Amino acid sequence: MTQPMVIAMIEDDEGHARLIEKNLRRAGVNNEIVPLADGASALAFLFGPDGSGLVNKGRPLLVLLDLNLPDMSGIDILKRIKENEHLKVSPVVVLTTTDDRTEIQRCYDLGCNVYVTKPVDYEKFAHAIQQFGLFVYVMQIPEAT
């Protein structure tokens, strides 16, 4: 039996996490959202206690990733996900305030699937997240292998 998709939301700003979750729910996303407020807890969740990523085998996983975390760079997490044999198929959506061209390029180079900049204008922000939520709703997510 296929497990339901889980959204791992790696976001250090509690407020942002709330706003993202609110708008995903408004778009009808009912899946479990796991809030991860720093790099260490994100790595623990994604790769498990043995660090192999086996812990998420067979689970469809979608990763929402903020790049600026207190204890490490989101880029490093992205890199580890895309290099991991179990997690590399899981889509990673970078959702961050940085709109630096080189940063965006780097993320796509490392295999990020979508890069979204958080707009300060809340109407746009809410719209972007809700659109994304609708997209998630129809999206087929592979299970971690």
Partner 1 sequence: MFDNARKQAEEVLLKAGALQKAIFDSANFSSIATDANGVIQIFNVGAERMLGYAADEVMNKITPADISDPQEVIARAKALSVELGTPITPGFEALVFKASRGIEDIYELTYIRKDRSRFPAVVSVTALRDAQDAIIGYLLIGTDNTARKLAEEALIKAGALQKAIFDSANFSSIATDANGVIQIFNVGAERMLGYAAADVMDTITPADISDPKEVIARAEALSIELGTPIAPGFEALVFKASRGIEDIYELTYIRKDGSRFPAVVSVTALRDAQGTIIGYLLIGTDNTARKQVEAEQKKLYQRLREANEEIQRFAHVVSHDLRSPLVNIMGFASELDASRKEIFERLAMLRAQLGGDPNNASDDALRADVEEALSFIKSSVGKMDRLIAALLKLAREGQREFQPQFIDMSQLFRTTLDALAYQTQAVHAQISIGELPSITSDRLALEQVFSNLMDNAVKYLRTDVPGSIEVRATETAASITYEVHDNGRGIDVKDRERVFDLFRRSGVQDRPGDGMGLAHARTLVRRLGGSINVDSGADCGTVFSVTLPKRWSLAPSEMVA
Which residues of the chain form contacts with partner 1 (CB under 8 A)? 13, 15-16, 19, 22, 67-68, 96-100, 118-123, 125-126
The residues pairing with 34 across neighbouring beta strands, listed in sequence order, are 8
Which residue, 29 or 144, has its beta carbon nearer to partner 1? 29
* Two tokens, residue 36: 């991860």
Nearer to partner 1, 97 or 105 (CB): 97
Task: Decide whether 19 or 54 has the Cβ nearer to partner 1.
Answer: 19
- Min dist. Cβ of residue 59 to partner 1 (A): 30
**Residue 68 beta carbon to partner 1: minimum distance, rounded to whole angstroms:** 5
> Looking up tokens 């996900």, which residue turns up?
81
**Please, what is the Cα angle at 105 between 42 and 80, to 5 degrees?**
30
Q: How far is the CB of 127 from partner 1 (least distance, A)?
A: 11
Please give the Cα distance from 74 to 43 (Å, whole number).
11
DSSP code, position 111 = T
